[in-house]
Amino acid sequence: MADDGDYKRDQNYITTRITADGRDGYPVEPGRYRLVIARACPWANRAAIVRRLLGLEEVLSMGIAGPVHDERSWTFDLDPGGKDPVLGIERLQEAFFKRDPGYPRGITVPAMVDIPTGQVVTNDFNQITIDMSGEWAEYHRAGAPALYPEHLRDEIDDVNAKVFADVNNGVYRCGFASTQEAYEAAYERLFARLDWLSDRLANQRYLVGDTITEADIRLFTTLARFDAVYHGHFKCNRQKLAEMPVLWAYARDLFQTPGFGDTIHFPQIKEHYYVVHRTVNPTGIVPVGPDESGWLTPHGREELGGKPFGDGTPPGPPLETERVPSLA
């Protein structure tokens, strides 16, 4: 936290990369790595979506931490015996300490773990999904979409930077501000950017080009949590998402697209934020609402044209062990 009350996210991550040529010592290999996520975390949710859309399930396994953690680490309390069945650890912290026994920073998801050594390779959420699109291309499913096409990368990067600063991280800057001034500044930036996004999406189905890209995935995971968490818990309350017609329709369009809504676990999302953030919600009471059935209502966005997967195809159903509760 800065002296002015503004929330400052620690963005120093382990930047080792898993690449096709293995230049950092970690070559892409089927079955070698485990992606660790938590359903509650928007940054990890991105990686789960990209993995689904690209069809990497059979070559990159996924461990799922529980929604509640303490100051030490995310834990695998959803698994039998409280241990990840592949890594054999109770806390993600153990994989970080195997890499660096004195690791001084927060233990974050998503994280890629090298199964043979049990060491975390990277927790650089920004690069993880980009590398899934590029470095793991040999193992993409037939019909996988181009989520980070070269001819659109500059525009995707520009949109991503704006969305990260003002929306993805902006909701946290509202929620964790420690002065009125810092909160109001973050609030104004957040809703100014949401208005900008509404204008951009009023006449085009997706953020960049006419298919789903990395930019849509990064915005979606924040929008999916907006009414359930950020509107009340983080005081982002000018409007609910459901009261912003363009963004609400856009978010529903994505939610109903295979690979998006089937990664969203609303009970775990709410449990994480309302239980873990005791400085914001001292009682730890988790709200019952809002009604989630609206996510399945018609959105009308197909009238704008575009094709979700371009010349590709939708992913198949989630693995049985990775299914989330249905809203239907």
Dist CA 275 CA 279 (whole Å): 10
Catalytic residue (choose from 41, 174, 206, 250)? 41
Dist CA 13 CA 17 (whole Å): 11
Q: Where does 64-179 have alpha helices with state H?
A: 93-99, 125-134, 153-163, 170-175
Dist CA 153 CA 171 (whole Å): 25
Structure tokens given for 80: 């039998």
Contact 72, 91 (CB under 8 A): yes
172 is catalytic: yes
Q: Which H or E element spans position 62?
A: strand 61-65
3-state SS, residue 105:
coil
CA nearest neighbour of 217 among 266, 170, 276, 164: 164
Query: Is 74 known as a binding-site position?
Result: yes
Dist CA 239 CA 96 (whole Å): 39
CA 129 from centre of chain:
10
Read off the amino acid at residue 71: E
In the block, which residue shows the tokens 């096409």?
149
Catalytic residue (choose from 13, 103, 139, 172)? 172
Dist CA 48 CA 46 (whole Å): 5
Annotated binding site for glutathione: 74
**Active-site residues: which are they?**
41, 172
Annotated binding site: 74
